[in-house]
Amino acid sequence: MALLQSWVESANSAETDFPLNNLPCGVFSVSDGTPRCGVAIGDMILDMAVLEEAGLVTPDEVAVFDMPFWNDFMELGPKAWDALRARLIELLKADGDPALRDDAALREKALVPMAEADLHMPLVVSEYTDFYAGRNHATNVGTMFRGAENALPPNWLHIPIGYNGRASTVVVSDTEIHRPLGQLKPPTAEVPYFGPCKRFDFELEMGAVVGQSSEMGRPLTVSQADDMIFGYVLLNDWSARDIQAWEYQPLGPFQAKATATTIGPWIVTKAALEPFRTSTPEREVELLPYLREPGPMIYDIALEVDLEPEHAGKPTTITRTNFREMYYSSAQQLAHHAVSGCAMNAGDLLGSGTISGETRESRGSLLELSWGGKEPVRLDTGEERSFLEDGDTLTLRGWAQGDGYRIGFGACRGKLLPAVEEPDWTK
């Protein structure tokens, strides 16, 4: 697959996240407008509501793009997804349909400079589930807490383990996050105390956006599950390690994961990632038939995280890894999610689990990078970090590298603010 040439010049650069091959879905607004669907192309956003109004794209009898979310379009299903992609490529490629290219007035209205736009949540997240499907991450965390011999729980090689998270606090890039308050019990203390989390962390993940619903009571095959996935976003699953350590047994993480989950503003479609499809690692033990993959189900996506302390003036890249490190694919996770009869909805978001590589430099959380705080990470500014400090900004980036182009995800950014003032608990 080569770079598709567009008449939008900035889309033809080898460095842009958004060549014509990509066409990711977001929601944007400009100063006087309401949020609506847009597609990134080079350094511009294509206003999908304007295109729909002009009759250049007609996925449904009713308008689906003059909306602050992509859910209505996603629900139209894979045929509509493929048709829209083909139509947009035809309208934007250098030698394609001139209906937009040669209409100066329409072009002016439909193409908005990205620099002038605000980006919003690209979808309404109906429910959020987070998995624990990265083998290096599970091994690192297990080694720290249970020792190397018992690093992987006995179920881990058989089940993509997950827990039900909160959709209400899934937020888009550039949303500021307050350090959470909660119950903390240091190992040496007999009883817990209440206060701001001291071991606040990030988790580098990808989120799979489910674009179709399934019936309650009806299991899904891995292949059916893959067909239901609309696309992928960058995802930072903020984590309060000390709150989790005290609360998580026996029912799993609760408040430790409820503060916030930040997603990137652009949903990169499965179709754009198709050339980068690859296989999950070899299975150490054979999976049960309902979890076996009929073909390659993971993607080769390079991932990086930058940490920038307040007033530092420059970020430090603290980790570099790849989505293909995951032991379980999102399609396997979705199939497992539905196997009990659990109904899945368009707008469901599945966090992959923390993506860590084998080397120290490729670990996807500070818990692992600093090995529980024992080996602090040195930043380019000379400062050290075991966990996040107030004022720190975390930026996740990801891209699939093609031949002379890349399929990028934009930035997934979040700044950590100090904990909010405690209310008077007696009132």
Least distance in Å: CB of 284 to Ca ion? Answer: 22
The answer to whether residue 368 forms part of the interface with Ca ion (CB under 5 A) is: no
Please report whether residue 226 would count as binding Ca ion according to CB under 5 A.
no
- Told to check if 130 binds Ca ion by CB under 5 A, we report yes
Closest to Ca ion by CB, 77 or 142: 142
**Contact pick of 203, 242, 308, 325 for Ca ion (by CB under 5 A):** 203
State the minimum distance, in angstroms, from the CB of residue 233 to Ca ion.
14
Residue 14 CB, shortest distance to Ca ion, in Å, is 33
CB of 286 to Ca ion, least distance (A): 26
Q: Which of 120, 137, 336, 337 is catalytic?
A: 137
In angstroms, the Cα distances linking 233 to 75, 77, 198, 208, 244 are 18, 19, 28, 7, 25
Indicate the residue among 65 and 387 with the shorter CB distance to Ca ion: 387
The SS3 call for residue 82 is helix
Stretch that binds Ca ion, among 162-170, 197-205, 218-226, 330-338 (CB under 5 A): 197-205
How many residues touch Ca ion (CB under 5 A)? 3
The least CB distance from residue 180 to Ca ion, in Å, is 15
How far apart are alpha carbons 102 and 94 in whole angstroms?
A: 11
The values of phi and psi at residue 197, to 5°, are: -55, 140
The backbone region for 176, taken as left when phi is positive above 0, alpha when psi lies in -120 to 50, beta otherwise, is: beta
For residue 172, give the nearest of 125, 111, 230 by alpha carbon: 125
The binder of Ca ion chosen from 47, 52, 72, 237 (CB under 5 A) = 237
DSSP class per residue in 102-145:
T-HHHHHHHEEEGGG-EEE-SS----EEEE--BHHHHHHHHHHH
Piece in contact with Ca ion (CB under 5 A), picked from 7-15, 223-231, 234-242, 283-291:
234-242
Q: Which stretch binds Ca ion (CB under 5 A): 53-61, 235-243, 373-381, 384-392?
A: 235-243
Q: Please give the backbone phi and psi of residue 172, each rounded to the nearest 5 degrees, phi first.
A: -90, 160
User: With CB under 5 A as the contact rule, which of the stretches 73-81, 163-171, 203-211, 318-326 interacts with Ca ion?
Assistant: 203-211
137 annotated active-site: yes
Largest CA distance in the chain: 73
Residue nearest to Ca ion (CB): 237
Neighbours of 404 (CB within 10 A): 11
Which residue number, 130 or 348, has a Cβ lying nearer to Ca ion? 130
Q: State the Cα–Cα distance between residues 182 and 346, nearest whole angstrom.
A: 33
Which is closer to Ca ion, CB of 122 or CB of 165? 165
Q: Which string of b and e fits 366-399 if b means at least 16 CB within 10 Å?
A: bbbbbbbeeeebebeeeeebbbbeeebbbbbbbb
Q: Which is nearer to Ca ion, 6 or 136 (CB)?
A: 136
Would you list the DSSP string of 205-241? EEEEEE-S---TT----HHHHHHHEEEEEEEEE-EEH
**C-beta of 137 vs 270, nearer to Ca ion:** 137
Give the strand pairing for 261-263 and 170-172.
Answer: parallel
Beta carbon of residue 165, minimum distance to Ca ion (angstroms, whole number): 8
Please say which residue, 47 or 203, places its beta carbon nearer to Ca ion: 203
Cβ-based nearer residue to Ca ion, 112 or 141: 141
Cis peptide before 250 (omega within 30 of 0): yes
| Closest distance of CB 354 from Ca ion, Å | 6
**Which of the stretches 123-131, 139-147, 161-169, 408-416 binds Ca ion when contact is defined by CB under 5 A?**
123-131
In the complex, the smallest distance separating the C-beta of residue 80 from Ca ion, rounded to whole angstroms, is 31
CB under 5 A: which stretch of 113-121, 124-132, 161-169, 367-375 binds Ca ion?
Answer: 124-132
- Which phi-psi region, left, alpha or beta, contains residue 59 (left: φ > 0; alpha: ψ -120 to 50)? alpha
Residues that bind Ca ion (CB under 5 A): 130, 203, 237
Residues designated as active site: 137
